[in-house]
């Protein structure tokens, strides 16, 4: 007889059995389910619902199942619907009728809600470790090659020069926020729903707090209806995963462009690229492209989860079984993508010469020149015009701002209808004033990256501090275990 079969006559239509079972997917929860069952058995014993001997027998039986699950030798029977019924049946096969006491005061509804939270806890830990690993890789590269200068871009057009280290650390910031979101998601999920029963609460005086403490959870859920139907934590996790993947996708996208020979800023290790079946010349950044593509999948999982929840009346509805595929897939994709990106970034060869060449091409130091004019007393708007004229002049001559003749600087200043500009135009004509030399200096890449020395800016000093502080944080993390 099926576990819930008392009121039924006849067999379930095989079509319906197949359509409702979840064992292929929820077997991922087997170890969490066993942890939950062992804690539940102890709770039943505390409540006087099991003798010490029964409790010991059940715990031993569940522990032997744990060994089998770990060894991969437990056979999952699709006829038994889900992981919970499979494990209970395996326990019964082992222990006989005493196994029938395990499900006292429990429903699969509070059971699966607990399993998912336990799964979430270990998944959050694994993902956090993978996030840290990628952060380390980025910080390593920033330490080694971070002083290289590249043309920072907005609108994908050359904008201002930035240090490679600054660019890499931008991703470290994103990854740190991802870690924060994971920790936050777990903080709210850190409650035991066990004892909520099917929906109304267990019919026995179970000490829910003690069972929660046994499981290392911070407390218990406060409302049984909410406890069996709450999947907020799944939504929060999927939101964190979708955003975390989005960060990886942006990094992947940049590497796809940067590895195109037209950029030529990075080369992927041969071990991290693939070729073409037809074009012998090809070296493709497929791992990056797949991370980018899978990001859409994870974003879709978030939308699916929200869709599952929005029409559900209280309490448990079977729709909730559909939470697992998105959760498990999102976690798997995120984890593997983090590891792929750590490998790819670790294996990159940066061509800092090509980066510098590109930085020398787009007049990316024009803002630095304008800022230097402001320091000589010109209003910023006027300085912007003057620097703009210098850019147009340099474009026309096919040279850089710091190659322009003194006459060009004097002309650019002289064309500005501003009292300070006229004064500066006169100074420009006078070599001894040092004005043009100072502006040419401001037009170099080195001077331009030094200027944004504000907190969070790209000045080498700030970037060195940021790298050191990221390194310190990661090292402390390592010693804290
Ligand atoms: N497999 C189910 C799920 O994942 C377990 C809970 C089933 N509860 C029920 N009353 N059918 O949601």
Ligand 1 site, residue 109, Cβ cutoff 6 A: yes
Ligand 1 site, residue 86, Cβ cutoff 6 A: no
Residue 303 Rama label (left phi>0; alpha psi -120 to 50; beta): alpha
Q: What spacing in Å lies between the alpha carbon of 61 and ligand 1's midpoint?
A: 23
Cα–Cα distances (Å) from 328 to 69, 78, 200, in that order, read: 18, 19, 29
Tell whether 462 is covered by a domain: no
**Same domain (yes/no): 69, 168:** no
Ligand 1 site, residue 35, Cβ cutoff 6 A: no
Q: Would you say 199 and 221 are in contact if contact means Cβ atoms under 8 Å apart?
A: no
CATH number of the domain that 312 lies in? Answer: 1.20.200.10
Tell me which residue of 304, 328, 337, 326 sits closest to 123, measured CA to CA.
328
CATH number of the domain that 38 lies in? Answer: 1.10.275.10
Tell whether 201 is covered by a domain: yes
Q: Can you give the pLDDT at residue 381?
A: 97
Which residue in 155, 247, 249, 336 is the catalytic one?
A: 155
Q: What spacing in Å lies between the alpha carbon of 224 and ligand 1's midpoint?
A: 16
Ligand 1 site, residue 320, Cβ cutoff 6 A: yes
Tell whether 360 is covered by a domain: no
**Same domain (yes/no): 338, 382:** no
**Same domain (yes/no): 340, 431:** no
**Same domain (yes/no): 266, 413:** no
Tell whether 84 is covered by a domain: yes
Ligand 1 site, residue 28, Cβ cutoff 6 A: no
- What is the spatial distance between Cα 1 and Cα 10, in angstroms, rounded to a whole number? 10
Residues 45-52: contacts with CB within 8 Å, 24+ apart? 46/206, 46/207, 46/210, 47/105, 47/204, 47/205, 47/206, 47/207, 49/101, 49/104, 49/105, 49/204, 50/101, 50/104
**Same domain (yes/no): 342, 400:** no
Query: What percent helix, strand, coil does the chain show, rounded to 5?
Result: 70, 5, 25
Tell whether 358 is covered by a domain: no
Q: Can you give the pLDDT at residue 480?
A: 80
**Same domain (yes/no): 433, 338:** no
Number of the ligand 1 atom closest to the C-alpha atom of 108: 6
> At how many degrees (to 10) do helices 164-189 and 460-480 cross?
40
**Same domain (yes/no): 91, 181:** no
- What value does the CA radius of gyration of the chain take, rounded to a whole number of Å? 31
For the chain, 481 residues long, give each residue's pLDDT as a single digit of tens. Answer: 788 889 999 999 999 999 999 999 999 999 999 999 999 999 999 999 999 999 999 999 999 999 999 999 999 999 999 999 999 999 999 999 999 999 999 999 999 999 999 999 999 999 999 999 999 999 999 999 999 999 999 999 999 999 999 999 999 999 999 999 999 999 999 999 999 999 999 999 999 999 999 999 999 999 999 999 999 999 999 999 999 999 999 999 999 999 999 999 999 999 999 999 999 999 999 999 999 999 999 999 999 999 999 999 999 999 999 999 999 999 999 999 999 999 999 999 999 999 999 999 999 999 999 999 999 999 999 999 999 999 999 999 999 999 999 999 999 999 999 999 999 999 999 989 999 999 999 999 999 999 999 999 999 999 999 999 999 999 998 888 6
- What is the spatial distance between Cα 68 and Cα 316, in angstroms, rounded to a whole number? 31
Q: Would you say 134 and 119 are in contact if contact means Cβ atoms under 8 Å apart?
A: no
84 in catalytic set = no
For atom 4 of ligand 1, the residue with the nearest CA is 321
Tell whether 309 is covered by a domain: yes
**Same domain (yes/no): 51, 120:** no
**Same domain (yes/no): 255, 150:** yes
Asked which of 104, 135, 169 is the last residue of a domain, the reply is 104
Domain count, the chain: 3
Which residue in 84, 103, 229, 276 is the catalytic one?
A: 276
Tell me which residue of 409, 379, 376, 406 sits closest to 391, measured CA to CA.
409
Tell whether 475 is covered by a domain: no
**Same domain (yes/no): 46, 183:** no
Q: Would you say 386 and 413 are in contact if contact means Cβ atoms under 8 Å apart?
A: yes
Q: Which two tokens stand for residue 437?
A: 């030399």
- Domain span including residue 98: 5-104
Asked which of 79, 104, 129 is the last residue of a domain, the reply is 104
CATH number of the domain that 396 lies in? Answer: 1.10.40
**Same domain (yes/no): 150, 199:** yes
According to DSSP H, which parts of 259-378 are helical? 286-310, 324-347, 352-359, 366-375
Dihedral sign (CA 322, 325, 326, 331): positive
For atom 12 of ligand 1, the residue with the nearest CA is 321
pTM: 0.97
**Same domain (yes/no): 293, 346:** yes
Q: Can you give the pLDDT at residue 481?
A: 63
DSSP 57-95: HHHHHHHHHHHHHHHT-PPP-GGG-SHHHHHHHHHHHHH
Enter the DSSP assignment of 266.
E
For atom 2 of ligand 1, the residue with the nearest CA is 321
Q: Can you give the pLDDT at residue 249?
A: 98
Tell whether 458 is covered by a domain: no
For atom 3 of ligand 1, the residue with the nearest CA is 321
276 in catalytic set = yes
Enter the DSSP assignment of 12.
P
């Amino acid at each position: 007889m099926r576990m819930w079969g008392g009121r039924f006559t006849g067999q379930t239509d095989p079509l319906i059995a197949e359509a409702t079972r979840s064992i292929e997917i929820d077997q991922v929860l087997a170890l969490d389910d066993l942890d939950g069952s062992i804690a539940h058995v102890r709770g039943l014993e505390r409540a006087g619902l099991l003798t010490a001997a029964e409790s010991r027998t059940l715990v031993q039986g569940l522990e032997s199942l744990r060994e089998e699950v770990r060894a991969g030798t437990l056979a999952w029977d699709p006829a038994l619907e889900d992981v919970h019924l499979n494990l209970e049946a395996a326990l019964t096969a082992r222990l006989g009728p005493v196994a029938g006491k395990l499900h006292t005061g429990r429903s699969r509804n509070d059971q699966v809600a607990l399993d998912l939270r336990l799964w979430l806890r270990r998944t959050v830990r694994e993902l956090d470790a993978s996030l840290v690993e990628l952060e380390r890789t980025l910080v390593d590269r920033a330490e080694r090659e971070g002083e290289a200068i590249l043309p920072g871009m907005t609108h994908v057009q050359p904008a201002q020069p930035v240090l490679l280290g600054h660019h890499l650390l931008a991703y470290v910031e994103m990854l740190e926020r991802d870690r924060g979101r994971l920790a936050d998601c777990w903080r709210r999920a850190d409650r035991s729903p066990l004892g909520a029963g099917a929906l109304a609460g267990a019919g026995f005086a179970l000490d829910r707090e003690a069972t929660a403490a046994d499981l290392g959870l911070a407390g218990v859920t406060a409302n049984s209806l909410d406890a069996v139907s709450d999947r907020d934590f799944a939504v929060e996790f999927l939101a964190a995963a979708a955003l975390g993947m989005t960060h990886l996708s942006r990094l992947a996208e940049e590497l796809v462009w940067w590895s195109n020979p037209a950029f030529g800023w990075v080369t992927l290790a041969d071990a991290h690229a693939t070729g073409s079946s037809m074009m012998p010349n090809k070296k493709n950044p497929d791992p990056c492209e797949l991370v980018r593509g899978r990001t859409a999948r994870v974003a879709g999982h978030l939308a699916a989860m929200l869709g599952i929840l929005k029409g559900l009346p209280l309490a448990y509805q079977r729709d909730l079984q559909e939470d697992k595929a998105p959760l498990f897939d999102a976690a798997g994709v995120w984890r593997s993508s983090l590891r792929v990106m750590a490998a790819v970034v670790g294996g990159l060869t940066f061509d800092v010469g090509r980066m510098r060449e590109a930085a020398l091409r787009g007049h990316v130091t024009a803002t630095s020149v304008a800022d230097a004019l402001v320091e000589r007393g010109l209003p910023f708007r006027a300085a912007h015009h003057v620097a703009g004229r210098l850019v147009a002049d340099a474009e026309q001559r096919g040279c850089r701002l710091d190659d322009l003749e003194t006459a060009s600087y004097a002309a650019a200043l002289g064309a500005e209808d501003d009292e300070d500009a006229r004064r500066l135009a006169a100074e420009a004509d006078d070599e001894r004033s040092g004005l043009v030399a100072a502006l040419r200096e401001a037009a170099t890449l080195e001077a331009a990256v030094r200027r944004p020395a504000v907190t969070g800016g790209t000045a080498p000093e700030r970037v060195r501090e940021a790298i050191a502080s990221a390194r310190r944080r990661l090292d402390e993390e390592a010693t804290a275990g």
